[in-house]
Amino acid sequence: MAMLRAVADGRAVMSSSCEPDLFIDGVPCCDQMTAHALAHGGYIRAAGGGSAELTAAGRGALTAFTLAA
């Protein structure tokens, strides 16, 4: 959820390779396996200029988690 929040806040950059790397606040994310799972699962994607963005599924997951908390 923290990765999804960082992407939602505009703090993330993502490479567009087959195994996309996620950087948060300019630092490589320490859990790239989860970053890959979020990308391959359709929750985040690379956007223009290298930034990362949430997909509709990512926004839904973040909203559901926030409402459940």
7-49 pLDDT per residue, tens: 999 999 998 888 889 999 999 988 999 999 999 999 999 998 8
Choose among 21, 60, 66: nearest CA to 39: 21
Task: Classify 8 as helix, strand or coil.
Answer: helix
Q: How many domains does one find in the chain?
A: 1
pLDDT of residue 18: 83
- Give pTM, 2 decimals: 0.89
Q: Where are the alpha helices (DSSP H) in the chain?
A: 2-8, 32-40, 56-68
Range of the domain at 43: 2-68
* CB-count exposure of residue 66 (10 Å: 0-12, 13-18, 19+): exposed
d(CA 20, CA 37): 10
